[in-house]
């Protein structure tokens, strides 16, 4: 009986020590393994009057990839990098994914007010096409390299 209690006590003590060890060492280790790659931050801006469509453009036409709308409208980055979208126009804009590589989530900033910004970190390599849901003449492409 005493022996059984002793064995249980030792088992509990070992469990406590193991738990503490797990908390102390495995916790930070797991954080390291799952930690985001510390990448660069790139800025894409929408200039004033970018809400005006180009001449001849009509609803249903594909978005126009031009620095007048998102600047730069073509951007090459690496996995783990972050893009910050800054709206310098006088009306809200969005940065909404149209096409993303398989396995990637479709980002959508929702309306970004004048002077506000939105960030997205790219975790999957490939080509991303995006546009403004409120002004669909505005388009951009982000190339994410492995």
Span from 24-32, 34-42, 64-72, 135-143 in contact with Cu ion (CB under 5 A):
135-143
- 64 makes contact with Cu ion (CB under 5 A): no
- Choose between 97 and 134: whose C-beta lies nearer to Cu ion: 134
- Choose between 81 and 89: whose C-beta lies nearer to Cu ion: 89
| Residue in 135, 137, 140, 142 binding Cu ion, rule: CB under 5 A | 135
Span from 35-43, 76-84, 85-93, 96-104 in contact with Cu ion (CB under 5 A):
85-93
- Choose between 77 and 112: whose C-beta lies nearer to Cu ion: 112
The DSSP line for the chain is -HHHHHHHHHHHHHHHHHHHHIIIIIHHHHHHHHPPP---EEEEEE-TTTTSPPTT--TTSPPEE-TTTSBSSEEEEETT-EEEEEE-SSS-B--EEEE--TT----B---B-TT-EEEEE--S-EEEEEE-SSSTTEEEEEEEE-
Contacts of residue 70, defined as CB under 8 A and 6 or more positions apart, other chains included, come to 44, 45, 46, 50, 85, 95, 130, 138, 139, 140
Residue with tokens 């469509």: 53
- 93 makes contact with Cu ion (CB under 5 A): yes
- 134 makes contact with Cu ion (CB under 5 A): yes
- Choose between 79 and 84: whose C-beta lies nearer to Cu ion: 84
- 52 makes contact with Cu ion (CB under 5 A): no
- 132 makes contact with Cu ion (CB under 5 A): yes
- Choose between 83 and 132: whose C-beta lies nearer to Cu ion: 132
* Residues making contact with Cu ion (CB under 5 A): 93, 132, 134-135
């Amino acid at each position: 009986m005493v022996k059984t209690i002793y064995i249980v006590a030792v088992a509990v003590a070992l469990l406590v020590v193991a738990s503490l060890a797990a908390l102390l060492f495995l916790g930070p280790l797991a954080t390291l393994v799952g930690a985001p790659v510390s990448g660069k931050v790139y800025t894409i801006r929408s200039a004033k009057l970018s809400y005006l469509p180009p001449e001849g453009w009509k609803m249903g036409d594909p978005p126009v990839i031009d620095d007048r709308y998102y600047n730069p409208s073509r951007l090459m980055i690496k996995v783990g990098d972050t893009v910050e979208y800054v709206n310098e126009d006088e009306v809200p804009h969005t940065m909404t994914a149209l096409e993303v590589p398989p396995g990637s989530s479709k980002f959508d900033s929702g309306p970004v007010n004048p002077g506000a910004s939105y960030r997205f970190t790219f975790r999957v390599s490939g080509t991303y096409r995006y546009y403004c849901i409120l002004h669909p003449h505005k388009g951009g492409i982000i190339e994410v390299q492995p």
